[in-house]
Structure 1
Amino acid sequence: MEHPTLPVTHIVNVRADAAVEPGRLGHSTVLSSPGVRVVVLTFEADFILKQHSAPKILLMQALDGCLRVTAGGQVTDLVPGALLRLDAGLEHEVEALEESRLMLTLIG
């Protein structure tokens, strides 16, 4: 898996342990090292992660599917290839418009 004590960390497939499970939000930590943590969340279609916040800067990237993110009065449909950054502490909600996997990078 990961080797945070090495100067280079290579994760071959961030999706490897991120299967979509019906009825629940899947959560898999891909990388954890000083100042950064990468997590993959899995959503079945129509799952809503209700409004919440994170204490760190968030980078959000859809690995597959389509996710609607509501944050700061703005609604963004997040699709593969797009990147969304949220300030630390900003309340947000995530809705899976279809079966999806979301990679979160928490910085700080």
Structure 2
Amino acid sequence: MTAYTHILDLAKEVEPPADGILSKTIYQDDQIKAVVFGFGQGQVLSEHTAAKPAVLFFVKGEASVGLGDDRQESQPGTWVHMPANLKHSIEAKTPVVMLLVLLK
């Protein structure tokens, strides 16, 4: 039997809080770690870096994303690849659900 993970609706994996940021690891193995985030409207994940490459996929809501010296808008369906050590930040304009995939 082949082991797999199937999630029908990522938007239902975490409910964005009224105030704050929630995270839930939905998958992890030797190659990747997948974490679903829920951001309350107006919440900010301050600028930081990650030692490994990562992918962001916005499932629900709208946010402003800092990527290095740039600022980009996101909406449901937005996909972002970030190389290791890129400065990044997120500001939720509405309640947001986002998938983060860390590449190990």
Task: Compute the displacement of 1:74 (Å).
Answer: 1.2
Find 1:32's aligned residue among 28, 32, 57: 28
Partner of 1:78: 74
Where in structure 1 do 4 or more consecutive aligned residues deviate above 3 Å?
none
* Contact map agreement 2:38 2:98 (CA 8 A) in 1: yes
Structure 1 spans left out of the alignment, 5+ residues = 1-5
Partner of 1:3: none
Alpha-carbon separation, structure 1, partners of 2:45 and 2:84: 17
Aligned-residue CA RMSD in angstroms? 1.4
Partner of 2:8: 12
Identity %, equivalent residues: 22
After TM superposition, the structure 1 = structure 2 runs for residues 1-108 of structure 1, keeping only pairs within 5 Å, are 6-108=2-104
* Contact map agreement 1:14 1:30 (CA 8 A) in 2: no
CA deviations over 1:13-35 (Å, ceiling 9, x no partner): 33343011222210010111111
The TM-score normalised by the length of structure 1 is 0.86
The TM-score normalised by the length of structure 2 is 0.89
Partner AA of 2:24 in structure 1: S
Task: Compute the displacement of 1:82 (Å).
Answer: 1.8
Aligned pairs, number: 103
- Does the residue aligned with 1:15 lie in a helix, a strand or coil? helix
Alpha-carbon separation, structure 2, partners of 1:39 and 1:85: 15
Structure 2 spans left out of the alignment, 5+ residues = none
